[in-house]
Amino acid sequence: MRRIILCLSLLVLGAAAARADVLGEARAGKLQCYEPDVQRKTCRGLFRTVVKPDGTATSGGDVLLNVVNGNSVLIMRSPQSSVTIKGNMTCGPIRRSDIEDAEFLLDGKPVNAASDRRMKDDMEARQAARGGQTECSVFTPAGDTWVVTDTLDGKPQPNSAHMIWVGPADGYKVAP
C-alpha cells in the first residue's frame, strides 16, 4: 500500500513539475491560442513565444480586433518583441515602437496607409497613459487549459483569457 501511495505521489509531483514550466510548450515550438474554439480551430489571438537558449525570449502574434460589416476580419499583427520570463509570467515594457511596428490586416491583406496611420494613432492614444510601464502575463494552469491574467507594474488588471497550446500544423487561425 505504501508503494502505491508513493508511486501516486511521484506521478502527481511529476505532473505538477511539468505544468510549472509555463513555456515548455513554447520551447517545443507550439503557439498560444487565446479564447479557442476547438471545434472550429479558431483563436481570438494566436501568439508565438520564442525562448532562446540563454533564457531570453520574444513574443508576438495576431489579435482579432474587429469584424467589419459582419464578415470582414480586422487583425493586428504585432512583431516579435523582447519579453522577460519571471516564474509563471512573461513581462515586457509597453513600447510605442511595438504599435508603430504592428501591421493591420483586413481579410488577410494590409489596410491602406491612411487606415493604418489612423489605427496606430488611436492605439497610441489609448496606450499613452501606460507607456513605459511593465505589463506581465501571468499563466495559471486550469485543467487542460491555462488562464492568463495581466498585471501592469505589478498591479492585477481586471482581464483574463483562456489559452491552449497548439502546434503550427494543427490548422488554427485567428477568427471570430
Give the list of residues 6+ apart from residue 172 with CB closer than 8 angstroms, or none: 31, 33, 36, 41, 42, 43, 46, 166
In the chain, what are the domain boundaries? 22-174
> Which pLDDT band, with edges at 50, 70 and 90, does 52 fall under?
confident
Q: What is the pLDDT of residues 73-109, one digit of tens each?
A: 888 888 888 898 888 889 998 888 888 999 999 988 9
Most confident segment among 39-48, 68-77, 126-135: 39-48
The pLDDT > 70 percentage for the chain reads 88
Cell of 42: 479558431
Whether the predicted pLDDT of 1 surpasses 60: no
The pLDDT > 90 percentage for the chain reads 48
* Full-model pTM: 0.82
User: How far apart, in whole angstroms, are the C-alpha atoms of residue 75 and residue 59?
Assistant: 17
For residue 32, what is the enclosing H or E element?
strand 31-34
Top-confidence residue, 149 or 130: 149
Top-confidence residue, 96 or 163: 163
Asked if 163 and 46 count as a contact pair (C-beta separation under 8 A), the reply is no
Top-confidence residue, 11 or 141: 141
Q: What is the pLDDT of residues 4-36, one digit of tens each?
A: 332 323 333 333 334 457 889 999 999 999 999
